[in-house]
Amino acid sequence: MKASGQLAGVVAELQSGLSNLVNNAVRYTPAGGAIHVSWEVLDNGNARFAVTDTGVGIAPEHIPRLTERFYRVDRSRSRETGGTGLGLAIVKHAVQRHGATLQITSVVGKGSTFAVVFPASRVRAGRAAVQSVEGPQATTMSALSASSSASSASRRESAVQ
């Protein structure tokens, strides 16, 4: 497993999708909790971007519906935490457009992990930089690795550079 590499794709879509995962972790992790953002190139050449938090967690019956537009686990949360109910639908769209899969694991009261696994065909070896690949929309996103606590305001910027 390597923590470097670049991801080929549409930068705006990838930034939107991956930053939604980080923003959700920030939104649903109470003060004093922890959020860990990671990037790794797996031994099989695939790459995994993951956001793990110590937030409220999600009951198993809700997980299959989380990527539906406007779906809310608890409707009262929308008033407390804001949001449109579109975040995970945006993630799903970006993930599918890049041939990746979204994996969600969660334990109520302990937290959640949202992981996106990209196929090896999207992973490029190299240094951390954004470079043009072909055309104005196809670009390469730099790999990232970050870890932060839920009480840090700067964590919102650590997702995608």
| Domain 6-157 CATH superfamily | Histidine kinase-like ATPase, C-terminal domain (3.30.565.10)
Rg, the chain, Cα only: 15
pTM here?
0.71
Q: Which of 83, 142, 4, 156 is CA-nearest to residue 73?
A: 83
Q: How long, in residues, is the chain?
A: 161
Residue 141, number of CB atoms within 10 A of its CB: 24
> How do residues 14-54 score in pLDDT, each as one tens digit?
999 999 999 989 988 999 999 999 999 999 999 999 999 99
Describe the crossing of helices 87-97 and 11-28 by its angle, rounded to 10 degrees.
140
> Which residues on neighbouring strands pair with residue 147, listed in sequence order?
36
pLDDT of 85 reads 60
